[in-house]
Amino acid sequence: MFRIKRLYSFLIKSFLPLLTVMFSVCLFVLLMQFLWRYIDDMVGKGVDLNILGQLFFYAGIALIPMCLPLAVLLSSLMTFGNLGERFELLAIKAAGISLIRIMKPLIILIFCISVADYFFQDIILPKAQTKFSAMLLSLKQKSPELDIPERSFYKELPGYNIYIEKKEKGGIFRNMMIYNYSPGNENDAAVIVADSGYLKVSADKKYNILALYSGESFQNLRKRRPGHKNELIPYEREKFSYKEIVIQFDTNFNIVDESFFNGRDISKNMKELHYFIDSVSIVNDSINRQIAPAVIEQTYSNSFRVNSRPLSAKQPCDTVYTDDFEQLFKNTSIENQLRILNEAKTIASRKTTDFSVRMFSQIDTKKTLLGHQIEMNRRCATALACILFFFIGAPLGAIIRKGGLGLPAVLSVFIFILYYTIDTFGLKMAKQGVWEVWHGMWLSSFVLIILGSFITYKAINDFMLNFEDMKRITKPFKLFTGKLKKSYNRGISILMRHS
């Protein structure tokens, strides 16, 4: 019968609660960051708590791949730090059990978590990303009064073009100008100017009501007849202290069609990503094979044909002189020099435009292809990061022998920031096409492998970080900074007395 050893059971029971707590804390922090980022799209929309709850649920699912590596790093560092601080790790080693053997059950557990994380990103995450994007876009499109910008015309309300000078708290608009195109075309637009106003929603949520204060409106009563330029057109002019304009606009919360997001890289599983990359790569290569010869022929061969015949009066004007063109150019007149330079500039501009037009069709395809390749590599690298962070956190905890949330939390945050910075740098290099995709997306993993190997090697060889030695090393620096501070305070006091 299979039984887990008591030591292994003890380590797993010590690690799992910390992993759960750290994962919950990291997820909460990232959700608060998400709330701070999109708070303007949520407040004042009149959306039910059920909708907001679904939005936070899908956002939390989308943030799991980022939370898990940090939680593994924190929990592993704290677990082995607690064991070292309570001398339990020392007692286990004294029994003849090596550090790698102590880490064995947790290595298997983290490996299972990494595999589960990979399949989670392949199966569940694309669906959650699609639903989250659809709900967030629907939330942004609801209640457009919060989206009306300052000092620019807003055309999202059907039949109206609205300009506001300033927005104040509470949704109050100042110095408004409204063009009403709903009765007919632009020639029949009614112009309304108001000192202030606000936008509210009707009780049935099918209309927006624009309430205006202290304004004036102007509108032509009929069109100008063709051929009557000097005809007088009757118009209507009205001054008002309060006026309401009813605009038909369905303000109920309607989720946009999720199929709109199915073409994005984050909404596809690994099989679909592979299929897309293979298909687009074949199409892109075929386009290159068709375009490259034509570009070479038109840009180089036709423009720079070598003609070794000597220059003479009977020679065609478009022949390139190859013997000593610089001397020929200096000896010719100023008018001919200007003509030659202008013709060369025209030819270069024409070739550049032709090349840009040919390559424009491939820019979007190349960006989309890079996005899918980046997403595929990112999912694999994120799953592997859990294992790499464990081989950093566990040996580091055994070295520092400090538990709790003090020093382990500081070290974990520092290591994760370093990882995130390198990963972001590699991502930008891959997106811009400066590096190969796998170079940029696996750069952070390569750094973690080096760091984890070094720390694990030191921990296996019983390297111990002695804080007393560190205090003795830093003591001269503290004395030096203390003397500098005293000298600075003394100088300040002398200046104050003289002043």
> What DSSP element (H or E) covers 452?
helix 443-460
Instruction: Specify the pairing of strand 235-248 against strand 190-201.
Output: unpaired
- Say which residue, 366 or 3, is predicted with more confidence: 366
Q: What is the pLDDT of residues 447-476, one digit of tens each?
A: 989 988 888 888 888 776 655 544 554 455
Which stretch of DSSP H or E encloses residue 383? Answer: helix 334-400
Task: Report the share of the chain in percent with pLDDT over 70.
Answer: 69
Token look-up 């009149």 returns: 46
Instruction: For residue 446, give both structure tokens.
Output: 């390569």
The residue-averaged pLDDT of 265-276 equals 82
- Decide: residue 112, CB within 10 A, 0-12 exposed, 13-18 middle, 19+ buried: exposed
Q: Where are the domains of the chain?
A: 6-142+383-425+442-472, 145-248, 264-376
pLDDT value at position 433?
Answer: 78
Q: What does the pLDDT look like over 4-29, one tens digit per residue?
A: 678 888 888 888 988 999 899 889 98
242: nearest Cα among 200, 211, 217, 218: 211
Residue 273 or 315, more confident: 273
Q: What is the pLDDT of residues 59-94, one digit of tens each?
A: 889 889 888 998 998 888 888 888 888 888 888 888
Most confident of 119-123, 130-134, 456-460: 119-123
User: Side chain identity at 9, as an amino acid letter?
Assistant: S
- Helix (H) or strand (E) segment spanning residue 177: strand 172-180
> Which is higher by pLDDT, 238 or 292?
238
126 neighbors 261 (Cβ within 8 angstroms) = no
Q: Residue 419: is its pLDDT beyond 60? A: yes
Confidence of residue 181 (pLDDT cuts 50, 70, 90): confident
What tens digit of pLDDT does each residue of 308-365 get? Answer: 444 444 445 555 555 566 776 777 778 777 887 888 788 777 777 777 666 666 777 7
Judge whether residue 111 has pLDDT over 90: yes
At 489 the pLDDT is: 66
